[in-house]
Amino acid sequence: MNRIVEHPGTRRCTTIVGIRHRGRAALGGDGQVTFGETIMKHHATKVRKLWNGTILAGVAGAAGDALALFERFEGKLEEYRGNILRASVELVKEWRTDRYLRRLDALLAVLDTKHAFILSGEGDLIEPDDGIVAIGSGGAYAMAAARAYLDANPKMSPREIVERSLRIAASICVYTNDNIVVEEL
């Protein structure tokens, strides 16, 4: 019997997309929470400002695991005084080796105006070349849209690109809705 193993970021969970562009950054997510095939909530907030409003973080995956990741990442930011790169590296190292953290079923996207990362429990710490991060079941749709908007109109603000990209993902992905929350730096 063949079994398909899905990476947590490709689960049927949500859409988070962020972009660093022209010295600014924005990160947004949809508000839908699903349990199996059922929509349980329409207005969840999956993105936050951290470290005195200088870092953005968004999570895709199981709700409890997402909250645990936010807390752990905030702790690493405190420990490394807001250094997003160091906090990300240390969280990924801990996530991969800690028995409790290894079981977390989620992905984390973090960015400031200089860096954008995707973090996973598999030990992944990815910094995309174009400054666009996207995770969740609608992440690929949102990323493609963000790249197209950036290409077509480089003068668009990061917020506008994120909002439009999330709306496109919501029109395609059944696990993503158009109740969008966007944070920006």
Catalytic residue among 14, 15, 34, 176: 14
CA dihedral 27, 33, 35, 36 (to 10 degrees): -60
H/E stretch holding 167 reads helix 158-172
Residue 14 a catalytic site member:
yes
Residue 73's closest CA among 115, 30, 119?
119
- Residues near 29 by beta carbon (within 8 Å), at least 6 away in sequence: 14, 15, 16, 17, 45, 46, 47, 58, 60, 136, 166, 180, 181
Neighbours of 38 (CB within 10 A): 7
Query: Where would I find the beta strands (DSSP E) of 15-105?
Result: 15-21, 24-29, 33-35, 38-41, 47-50, 55-61
Residues labelled catalytic:
14
